[in-house]
A and B are shown apart, each in its own frame.
Chain A
Amino acid sequence: MPDYKVTIFIAAILLSIGLLAGRLFGLQIIGRGDAQEVSRGNALRTLRLLPARGAIYDRHGVLMVHNEPSYAITLTPRYFVEDKTALLARHLGVEDSVVEAKLAEAREWTPYRPSISFTDVPFERYSRIQEDLFRLPGVDDEISQKRRYLSDARASHALGYISEITREELDIQEQPRFYTQGDLLGRTGVERSYETYLRGIPGSALRVVNVHGLEVKPYLDGKGDEAPVSGYDIHLAMDAGVQALAESLFVNKRGAAVALDVATGGVLVLHSAPDFDLGLFTGGINQPAWRAIVDHSDKLLYNRVSMNQMPPGSTWKPLMALMSLDAGLIAPTGPNSTVFCGGYHPLGGGHIFRCLGVHGSQDVVQALENSCNTFFFEMARRMDLGTFRRYANSFGFGQRAPSDIREQTTGLIPDSAYFNDRYATWGMGTLMNLGVGQGDMGVTPLQLVRYIAAVANGGWLHEPRLVSFLANPATGDTIHFAPEPVRIPVDTAYFSLVRQGLKRVMETGTGRAMQIPGIASGGKTGTAQAPMGMTDHSVFVMFAPYEEPRIAVAVQCENTGSSGMCAAPIASLLAERYLKGAVPESPSKSLRLGRAMMASSQALLTE
């Protein structure tokens, strides 16, 4: 071959290779960004690493709620092949249409990222799908978590339930977006109030995805990944043992029991009966179970502790006593002045304002001991409605309590505008009814217990709090909640006078059968008149021990009759259980337990 041909040949080689090199330069150096986008778009997938939702402990560190693995199947619509629908449906044991519906739902949310479409898949089904994943592009397995409830106490209303986030909630959530399709969200109780603490911070991981849509390995060996940060653990003020006892005592009853730590306002017990099983909600509640809960005539989701408002009955009398003392209504002769009880209040001629007995001369302590209506009718006669409202409000009535219990009603403390609105004529009689806690007023058990705790501690109104502190297991960070109590502007001397009266109730008065063996206490029975001829509601408030009180309890039993038969024994047993750590066998225990268990709520009228 002549030299010029060699040169031409070499030139041709250099030209060809040079052309390729130039193209290579264009693709790799100049066009890198675009190519990376395409490559990342199909070959990388961002995973969300779920943090562990915070656990929940009681005041003694007893684990009440934590997580267990839940097997979920995710769908990524972009990769999903439609003719695999039947295969996936067969593996899951559902109809094809269910898979199609889930796919449509996922596509609407995001076609490119996996959506949690089937939660709480039984492990056998889950592992079978896992083995078949290579035949199911766009289908992935995910181990998420579900709540696991461990303690004897269900504490349904205090803990609250969690359920899957809805489309609307996903759309309106705060930016940057935290939740994605299939996430669970706290709906009531502490799960809701502390959602932002419990949920933690999700991490992320990049995975190399192969052409079948399967993850093959971490991108760059996980160098760019971010680990999730666990949520805070909740440490409740609740005593799970006492809570469990409360739940066991409310057989066949509607009502509520709530107990506070007198010194801090921590909620020791919060039970609303009837309650529901939180276990039903783990991994998504099924429709029939949900309907059964929602449609139940006893309103299972309704937190009676903080939402059920009914007249306080005689449990209102300590507040009336304090008001009378502080506002000088017992004068002219001072706090020891007496009122004569002839079995009725003379106003209205002896038929309307009746007392439970003929008590004779009653001072304020005796009036509390005997629950003397006449005395308190007289005090109410002497008050004006404004004063009444002011004192009621200062004890926390007629308003929501500052609290981490979100589900609350304000209760009803009437003012003249209310009466004007409601009645053509109203007068002294209307007011006098308020003096004994009947008529147009409503209080919740939560308000009652808060008030009785304030009576017990000499006038400090605490925030009732379910949670005493949060602790992050990962960072060791803790958040304590110790809000300052509010001082009730009533002389402490009057509080001790009223406490004496409440002690006498337990020793010689209406609560004497309900004493805690060996521990002096103060308490007050109450009966709230039920409308429409139904059996009255039984109400009881108490605190114990009498010296240096530690626990305040309020119990409301709907339509069970007089206080001594239902609310009082329950309250007394709860206080004893809390103070002694157990309820030792005794004749008194048998009596109280017997009464508590025997009582039952009259069924609600249903049309």
Chain B
Amino acid sequence: MSTWVKNLDYWIILCWLCLAAIGLVAIYSATQGEAHQYLGGSMKNNFDRQLLWVGVAAVGMVIVCLIPVRPYMELAFVGYGVCILLLVAALMLGREVGGARSWVYIGSYGFQSSELAKVGTILAVARILSANKPHRTGNTSLIAVGLLSLPAVLIILQNDTGTALTFIGLIPVVLFCTGTSLWAVTLLLTPAIVGYLYIWYLPAAIGFAAALALALFFWYRDIILAGAGALVSGGTIATAYFAMEKLLQPHHVARIHAFANPEAEEFRSGVGFHLMQSKAAIGSGGLSGLGFMEGTQTQGAWIPEQSTDFIFSVIGEELGFLGAIGLLTCFALLLIRLVRFAGRITHPFASTVIACTAGLILLQVYINVGMVLGLLPVIGIPLPLVSYGGSAFLANSILLAIVLNLCMRRRELSLYA
């Protein structure tokens, strides 16, 4: 025991503590200040409950670390199966919360099946990719993609597109980690990047397409690959153009544009309201913020979902640029730490679990903060470890605990290889 406690990674623990603490501070300010009395019933207690969840998660993490790594590998598929069953159960029997049917109840205790599925799916994906075969074929990669897609589809059916997006987003990460060639991963990512740029500024999308084709050509010296790059990006632009100009109704187009320009009169009170308020909150924070419990937007409850999906605007307003950058730095340190472990540990299971965890956190952070800052459309996903939400906090903590466990016992891993 003493050996692996020595190997415990305190960086990860420190980052986890910092993020949880910042989250608690922001949740406190958003729900225990003047806004308190106007909050809907259950939100009043968000701080207390999050505090409880942090405690539960800490205990859970200790337990996770005490279990040797072998059961995680061996029970990965069972766990995956349970997760899928829960997703289906939630879809069939669950209660609808915030428009999504993702909650499973045992008695009066509910949890979000989609959050738990993140843990199960990552373990299963890592397991399939670590299958003891001399030469892994593309088949295992395809199975991994399938393992990621199944829960994504179920979660889309649960009407929680945001969470599903994080599963889809993991696909390139998984492929990237498993030796799929870089160009394939790049081509896979291209439509997302080009589409995103297209909404902002058409020349930027065209510029990216051109740059991609040139880069592929000069890197691989392969004209076919360069052509494929140009085809994929050009095709995305064409598709997007066709969709925006011909296929979609004007109000759909307007909705897509809303995130880029929320102040416009037609969006202000509807789609743009979240964004305008959160941008106003963050902007007025300035360098050092308005001070804890002093943010006028936060205390006036102007930002919808300010203790959950829009928690970052509370931090931006009350703790300012310095506070927000501090939070982002914390994430960056955690992620870099994880990725370094993923590189150092050669065991495919451990490496994949760690890389996927890093990928998952990065995706959630980017989507969430990008949404709050108006870089991305409003997609309802929480900021990992910071937003209020027990299931998500627990799921992310457990993932980190598994990573801790894997890092700690990395010497034992070869035994199972």
- A residues near B (Cβ < 8 Å) are 1-3, 5-6, 8-10, 12-14, 16-17, 19-21, 23-25, 27-29, 31-32, 34-36, 38-40, 42-44, 134, 208-212, 214, 216-217, 219-220
Contact = CB atoms under 8 A, between A and B. Distances in A.
B362 A16 contact: yes
Interface in B328-382: 328-329, 331-332, 335-336, 339-340, 342-343, 351, 355, 358, 362, 365-366, 369-370, 373-375
Contacts of A39: 280-281, 283-284, 296-297
Nearest to A35: B283
B324 interface: yes
Contacts of B325: 21, 24
Contacts of B336: 10, 13-14
A32 B283 contact: yes
B22 to A, nearest CB: 15
A445 B38 CA distance: 64
A43 B321 contact: no
B283 to A, nearest CB: 2
B409 interface: no
Ranked nearest first, the 9 interchain pairs of A and B with the lowest CB-CB distance are A35-B283, A6-B343, A216-B34, A43-B296, A210-B300, A38-B280, A39-B284, A39-B280, A28-B321
Given A10-B339, A216-B34, A28 B366 contact: no
Interface in B239-296: 276-277, 279-287, 294, 296
Contacts, number: 149
B406 to A, nearest CB: 14
A42 B279 CA distance: 13
A210 B286 contact: no
B38 A9 contact: no
A134 B38 contact: yes
11 contacts: A9-B342, A10-B339, A10-B340, A16-B362, A19-B370, A20-B369, A28-B282, A35-B283, A39-B283, A211-B300, A216-B38
B301 A211 contact: yes
B316 interface: yes
A3 B280 contact: no
Nearest to B281: A39
- Please indicate which of the listed interface residues A10, A14, A134, A208 has the most CB atoms of chain B within 10 Å of its own CB: A208
A31 B284 CA distance: 9
A312 to B, nearest CB: 69
B305 to A, nearest CB: 12
B13 to A, nearest CB: 20
B299 A208 contact: yes
Report which residue of A9, A23, A209, A220 has the largest number of chain B beta carbons within 10 angstroms of its beta carbon.
Answer: A9
Given A1-B343, A13-B336, A32-B284, A25 B321 contact: yes
A28 B280 contact: no
Given A211-B301, A211-B302, A28 B328 contact: no
A34 B284 CA distance: 8
B183 interface: no
B320 interface: yes
Contacts of A8: 176, 182
B176 A32 contact: no
Contacts of B285: 28
B73 interface: no
A399 B243 CA distance: 88
B34 A217 contact: yes
A28 B297 CA distance: 14
Contacts of B277: 42
Given A13-B332, A208-B34, A28 B286 contact: yes
B91 interface: no
A17 B81 CA distance: 34
A17 B287 contact: no
Contacts of B300: 42-43, 208-211, 216
B280 A9 contact: no
B155 to A, nearest CB: 23
A44 B284 CA distance: 12
B35 interface: yes
A34 B276 CA distance: 11
Q: Chain A binding site: helix, strand, loop or mixed by DSSP?
A: helix
B177 interface: yes
B259 to A, nearest CB: 13
Interface of B: 33-35, 38, 176-177, 182, 276-277, 279-287, 294, 296-297, 299-302, 316, 320-321, 324-325, 328-329, 331-332, 335-336, 339-340, 342-343, 351, 355, 358, 362, 365-366, 369-370, 373-375
B342 A210 contact: no
Given A36-B283, A210-B302, 14 more contacts: A10-B340, A20-B370, A21-B328, A24-B373, A25-B321, A34-B283, A35-B280, A36-B284, A42-B277, A43-B302, A208-B296, A210-B34, A211-B301, A216-B300
Contacts of B177: 1, 5
A14 B177 CA distance: 18
B342 A32 contact: no
A279 to B, nearest CB: 39
Nearest to A4: B182
B282 A24 contact: yes
A522 B346 CA distance: 124
A29 B321 contact: yes
Contacts of B296: 39-40, 43-44, 208, 219
Contacts of A24: 282, 316, 321, 324-325, 328, 373
B303 to A, nearest CB: 8
A399 B176 CA distance: 103
Contacts of B34: 208, 210, 216-217
Nearest to A217: B34
B193 to A, nearest CB: 12
A217 B35 CA distance: 10
Contacts of A19: 370, 375
Contacts of A12: 362
Nearest to B291: A220
A237 B77 CA distance: 99
Contacts of B375: 19-20, 23
Nearest to A206: B296
B165 to A, nearest CB: 15
A217 B294 CA distance: 10
A40 B302 CA distance: 12
Nearest to B332: A17
A1 B352 CA distance: 8
A220 B299 CA distance: 12
A9 B284 contact: no
A27 B339 contact: no
Contacts of B301: 210-212
Contacts of B284: 32, 35-36, 38-40
B283 A9 contact: no
Nearest to B294: A220
A208 B29 CA distance: 14
A17 B327 CA distance: 10
Contacts of A35: 279-284
Given A209-B300, A210-B35, A9 B373 contact: no
Contacts of B355: 1, 9
A5 B343 contact: yes
B373 A20 contact: yes
B370 A27 contact: no
B320 A3 contact: no
Contacts of B324: 24, 28
B398 to A, nearest CB: 22
A572 B284 CA distance: 74
A211 B301 CA distance: 6
Contacts of B294: 220
B287 A29 contact: yes
A13 B321 contact: no
Contacts of A25: 321
A14 B362 CA distance: 10
